[in-house]
Amino acid sequence: MTFYAQLDSLNDEVVLGDLGMIYVFVCFDCLEVTALLQTA
Ligand SMILES: [Zn+2]
């Protein structure tokens, strides 16, 4: 799996947990995507 993207809270209406972050990993062989939500 390769680290692909890091997303923080989109705006005040869409808050990911408590200042959460989403880390997205992609396998470029089979195009599998895994997202990990981490909250502060
Ligand atoms: Zn794979």
CA of 13 to the centre of ligand 1 (A): 34
Report the separation in Å between the CA atom of 36 and the middle of ligand 1, taken as the mean of its atom positions.
Answer: 17
- 26 CA distance to ligand 1 middle (Å): 8
Please give the distance, rounded to the nearest whole angstrom, from the Cα atom of residue 10 to the centre of ligand 1. Answer: 28
Q: Can you give the pLDDT at residue 8?
A: 75
Give CA–CA dist 15/12, Å, rounded.
Answer: 6
| pLDDT in the model for residue 1 | 93
Distance between CA atoms of residues 9 and 3, nearest Å: 18
Q: What are phi and psi of 11, to 5 degrees?
A: -165, -170
pLDDT in tens, 1-29: 999 988 876 555 555 556 678 899 999 99
